[in-house]
Structure 1
Amino acid sequence: MKLFSKKQIETGEEEKLGTPAVDGEGQQETDKTQEVMAYIRKRNPRRKKKLIRIAIAAVLLAAILGGVVHAKTKGNSQGVQLATVAVERGDVEQNISTSGTVESENIQTYFADVAAPVSKVNVKAGDTVKMGDELLTYNTDTLAMDNEQAKLTASSTKKKLQAQLEEGSLNELKFVTSTAELGTYDAQIADLEGRIDQVYCMINSNKKWMSTEGVRLESEIAELESKKASVSKNSAKDHYRNEIDARREEINKHGTTDLEEYLRQGQEELSKLKEGRSASEGTQKSSEAGILTGTQKSEITDESKLAELNAKEAAANLSKASKGVSANFAGIVTDVQVVEGSTTSPGTQLFTVADSQNVKVTLKVSKYDLEYIREGQSADVTIAGYEYTGKVTRIDRMAQRSDNGTAVVSAEIHIDQPDNNIFLGIEAKAVIHIAKAEKTLMLPVELVNSSTDGYYCYVVQNGVVERRELEIGISSDTYVEIKSGLEDGDRVVQNSMIELVEGMQAVALDEMGAPIVENAVSENEVSDNSVSDNNSQPEE
């Protein structure tokens, strides 16, 4: 059986193709095919493209049905003829097409940082500015006078306060030294008192032991002494003597004589430490009256700092007013709220400028696309007919409700190298590149079947139909990446009206409908195509 190609149908060369060798109903299908071709030639040229697609489908169906009839009626010993396509090798790219709004990544509102009259406003809303452009200028006459007065006041105040601080510095040194000595004494006294308390506890513990265990051991010693006196053998006497010595040693361990001596020495040392602390405390009190108090020192310091701050502030205000207000980056002025002749105060809102060198497209991503989008993925962006590249830089972690109530997640695409053709606030189209497999085996989406066990297809191998279990990868609208299950040169059966059974005999037909000779490789069997489309996995 032989099929018509799309090219031959469009060029009207079907007469040169020959007629499939079929009988009965198969011949009727061929007659219908010829009627379809004649109909196409008579139609309006505007509808020709659509009708050609219909004709292709009709021809393919007729050819397949003809093959079925021919196989069943004539009993071809080589098996049923099946249309096949060669496994291709090329690029499969999975993309997501979407749209969003062009926005600036950096929007700055400028506020006045000085109180001064406005001399001139140099921009209006909608103007484009470059980094460093002067947006506003001030009148600085009053600020220059304030600056000179503040410098004189700061110098006079500093000299007066310095004299007061030098007068009290000596007494302050004595006060600091004695205070440090008191801290040392307090630490030593606390440590020694802790050790004395421990000795007291040990003495009390030993006395308690002696009142019970000591009494018992003394009783045992008296009994052992009596037994020792009643025996005559030296060996027996030595035994009782050893027993008595062991008990006396245990009693001596719990004696309090050494502990009481250590307690006496510790109390003497504690008394000396307290005397030293008392002397340092007297020095501290005597020097305190001759130094500046903390409040006095704080007042002197604050007064000096205040004079310095006033002078610095006056100088800073004059400097800021002299510079005016300049753009921190290239962008577009979106709002102007100041007028010439007005006097600003710190915090007065002046301008709003949107950065035009750092631009993004903000998207609303549905839950169906969210599982594929990741930060760092590249994207192609089209804005007002101009094309740019970009990258996904942010995906919000909280969904919002769209106008129709659907939950969507905001995402952002940073635009690389923006130019003057970009307009903020308009719609942009974006194609996000999810994944790409290069020079991989691939099949048209419609040839990949699915079941509860996974994906599969049928191939004709050595005249026999085989079912191949497939491991698939990414997919576009047209092609699916084949990771395993097929090899270069395999011929995959196209969608057929015949119920395919693994092991049945078959003759593979190429893309032109001609039988394929075993071990021969056609020019279409291995190709290097590139496929880029928007899609997800094949539907089951």
Structure 2
Amino acid sequence: MKMSKKEKQETKTGKKKIKTWQIVTAVFAVILLALLVNIVKQSMGAAAAGTPVTTVQVLKGDITQTVDTSGSVESEESKTYFAQVGATIGELHVKAGDSVKTGDLLLSYDTADLEQALKQTELEAQVNAYGADITVASVDHAQQKAAQAQTDYDDSLKYIAHYTECVGQLTDQLNKANALQADEAALQAEIKELTAKVEKDDTDQESAKALKKKTKELEKIEKKLADYDVSNLQSALETCQGDLAEYKALKEQYDAAKEQDPTAGLQKKQQAVVKESAQLTEDRAKAELEKAKAGVTADFNGIVTNVAAVQGQTTVEGAELFTIQNADALKVSLAVSKYDIEKLAIGQKADITINGKSYTGEVSNISKVASTNNAGAVVIDTDIHIDNPDDNIVLGVEAKVSVKTAEEKNVLLVPIAAVNYASDGVFCYVAENGVLVRKEVETGISSDEYVQILSGLSEGDAVITDVTGDMTEGMAVTAVSADEADAQNAKQAE
């Protein structure tokens, strides 16, 4: 069967289309096959070379361990001034935030009231002194009178004893004289009677003998009576009796007067205390006036951080006036974590940065009591003494501190990233002959970049710094130095 021209044309066209599709499909198949082959080759090559890892060689060097933190600048010495005298504040010479030097006048008092008070106190002291002197003089006079009365009393006792003896002696003599006179009168009567008998009868020999005997006895008595002046004795007795009576009366008078006032000594002591008290009051008033005249001065170079005094106010002794913090003795107050505190010790040196300026210092105090900060973390207050403070430092400003806690020289060092911590110990991964090897290590001190290795590694070992969780000991690795890795990363970034 013959085809028309049109059918022949369509048949040719269809054959042409089939050939073109087949060609395109073949080309894509070839390209895809090439890509697959390339991927397989790369995969096989990578598997043969091992996983790339970044390594750093263990080296020897010096390392300094620091505790880096920040705190606020405070003064190591703070003094609150209290009023030493009750007086009106005349003038305030400082305000909060002012710098002061040793000896600067901080406050002046109005002393008019104190001067008037001193004058009044002096007058009162004089009045008290005069009153005390008068009382003491009166007591002294009374004591002198009592002492004289005692003397007179003692003398009266002597005179009474003397005149008592005198009266006794005179009375005895008068009694003897009176007895002789009585004997004389009796003899005279007997003699008179015997004489009458003899004159009547001269033969009465017995009466004559008796008369003779009595006459002799009378002569003896008259002779004895001649030794007594009865009149003078009587007069002397009366005189002695009068004197005795007088001194007995004086004795009673002196006995009452000699009694001392039992409070006399206490009165004198009391007046001495009154005078001393008045003098002390006067001295205090003088001292208060001197203090007020001197005003209040700064004891050291510092910053006025608080002013409680008010100009024109009348203060009482002990009232708060100022607070000054020493500007020559400064510190940085830190709140150190419990993890860092074990590294710190008194005397460790520190580098301090305040407002961009560097200072040196050292650890001066570590609190023995921990506290909790606002975040709930346990911290320990620590002070860093500033060795060389200057006028550029402002109290309360933030300060950065780096405390040098330890230092080692010429020791094995690895980057911090190379040290791994696990429940069973500390280790580093090392690339050895294309194989990942785990090595247990003992570490020493550390810095911001490096860790000291005490054992487990040797100088030159290639430790891995880009450790991942899928790494296992014994896997194939390709070591890439940190410098090469940095170069590749920089090239890719371009």
Alignment TM class, shorter chain as reference: 0.5 to 0.7
SS at 1:322 equivalent: helix
Residue 69 of structure 1 pairs with residue 48 of structure 2:
yes
Residue 476 of structure 1 pairs with residue 455 of structure 2:
no
User: 2:60·2:412 contact (CA, 8 Å) conserved in 1?
Assistant: yes
Q: 1:69 to 1:507 in 2, by over 3 A?
A: closer
TM-score of the superposition, structure 2-length normalised?
0.52
Instruction: Name the aligned partner's letter for residue 494 of structure 1.
Output: I
SS at 2:380 equivalent: strand
Deviations 1:169-191 (A, max 9, x none): xxxxxxxxxxxxxxxxxxxxxxx
Alignment of 1:371-520 (within 5 A): 371-450=342-421, 454-457=425-428, 469-487=440-458, 489-494=459-464, 500=473
Alignment of 1:8-157 (within 5 A): 28=42, 69-70=48-49, 85-144=56-115, 153=125
Instruction: Name the aligned partner's letter for residue 384 of structure 1.
Output: N
Query: What is the CA–CA distance in structure 1 between the aligned matches of 2:95 and 2:480, rounded to whole Å?
Result: 73
Q: 1:162 to 1:421 in 2, by over 3 A?
A: farther
Compare 350-359 and 465-474 and name the one that shifted more: 465-474
Alignment of 1:232-311 (within 5 A): 299=270, 302-303=273-274, 305-311=276-282
CA drift of 1:509 comes to 8.4
Q: 1:131 to 1:442 in 2, by over 3 A?
A: same
1:205 corresponding residue in structure 2:
none
SS at 1:412 equivalent: strand
User: 1:26·1:69 contact (CA, 8 Å) conserved in 2?
Assistant: no
2:329 corresponding residue in structure 1:
358
Residue 331 of structure 1 pairs with residue 302 of structure 2:
yes
CA drift of 1:298 comes to 7.0
Query: What is the CA–CA distance in structure 2 between the aligned matches of 1:506 and 1:121, rounded to whole Å?
Result: 79
Deviations 1:304-334 (A, max 9, x none): 5424432432332122112111112222223
1:369 corresponding residue in structure 2:
340
Query: What is the CA–CA distance in structure 2 between the aligned matches of 1:66 and 1:447, rounded to whole Å?
Result: 28
User: 1:67·1:81 contact (CA, 8 Å) conserved in 2?
Assistant: no
SS at 2:306 equivalent: strand
2:23 corresponding residue in structure 1:
none
CA drift of 1:471 comes to 2.6
User: 1:68·1:498 contact (CA, 8 Å) conserved in 2?
Assistant: no
Instruction: Name the aligned partner's letter for residue 403 of structure 2.
Output: I
Instruction: Name the aligned partner's letter for residue 424 of structure 1.
Output: L
User: 2:49·2:476 contact (CA, 8 Å) conserved in 1?
Assistant: no
Query: What is the CA–CA distance in structure 1 between the aligned matches of 2:450 and 2:423, rounded to whole Å?
Result: 21
User: 2:121·2:282 contact (CA, 8 Å) conserved in 1?
Assistant: yes
CA drift of 1:452 comes to 5.4
Q: 1:499 to 1:112 in 2, by over 3 A?
A: closer
Q: 1:150 to 1:453 in 2, by over 3 A?
A: same
Q: Where does structure 1 lack aligned partners over 5 or more consecutive residues?
A: 1-22, 30-64, 72-79, 169-288, 514-540
Deviations 1:409-434 (A, max 9, x none): 33333322222222223333323333
Query: What is the CA–CA distance in structure 2 between the aligned matches of 1:149 and 1:486, rounded to whole Å?
Result: 92
1:529 corresponding residue in structure 2:
none
User: 1:26·1:70 contact (CA, 8 Å) conserved in 2?
Assistant: no
Instruction: Name the aligned partner's letter for residue 490 of structure 1.
Output: G
TM-score of the superposition, structure 1-length normalised?
0.48
SS at 1:365 equivalent: strand
Alignment of 1:181-192 (within 5 A): none
Query: What is the CA–CA distance in structure 1 between the aligned matches of 2:402 and 2:269, rounded to whole Å?
Result: 66
SS at 1:313 equivalent: helix
Query: What is the CA–CA distance in structure 2 between the aligned matches of 1:454 and 1:297, rounded to whole Å?
Result: 92
Query: What is the CA–CA distance in structure 1 between the aligned matches of 2:364 and 2:91, rounded to whole Å?
Result: 40
Instruction: Name the aligned partner's letter for residue 69 of structure 1.
Output: A
Query: What is the CA–CA distance in structure 2 between the aligned matches of 1:132 and 1:26, rounded to whole Å?
Result: 90
Deviations 1:459-482 (A, max 9, x none): 689999987653321112421112
User: 1:400·1:408 contact (CA, 8 Å) conserved in 2?
Assistant: yes
Counterpart selection for 1:316 from 270, 283, 287: 287
Instruction: Name the aligned partner's letter for residue 28 of structure 1.
Output: Q
User: 1:457·1:492 contact (CA, 8 Å) conserved in 2?
Assistant: no
Query: What is the CA–CA distance in structure 1 between the aligned matches of 2:105 and 2:337, rounded to whole Å?
Result: 44
CA drift of 1:149 comes to 7.1
Q: 1:146 to 1:92 in 2, by over 3 A?
A: same
Deviations 1:95-116 (A, max 9, x none): 2332223333333332221133
Q: 1:83 to 1:147 in 2, by over 3 A?
A: closer
**Aligned-residue identity in percent:** 41
Counterpart selection for 1:348 from 316, 319, 323: 319
Query: What is the CA–CA distance in structure 1 between the aligned matches of 2:273 and 2:425, rounded to whole Å?
Result: 80
Instruction: Name the aligned partner's letter for residue 48 of structure 2.
Output: V
User: 2:129·2:275 contact (CA, 8 Å) conserved in 1?
Assistant: no
Q: 1:442 to 1:122 in 2, by over 3 A?
A: same
SS at 1:446 equivalent: helix
User: 2:436·2:472 contact (CA, 8 Å) conserved in 1?
Assistant: no
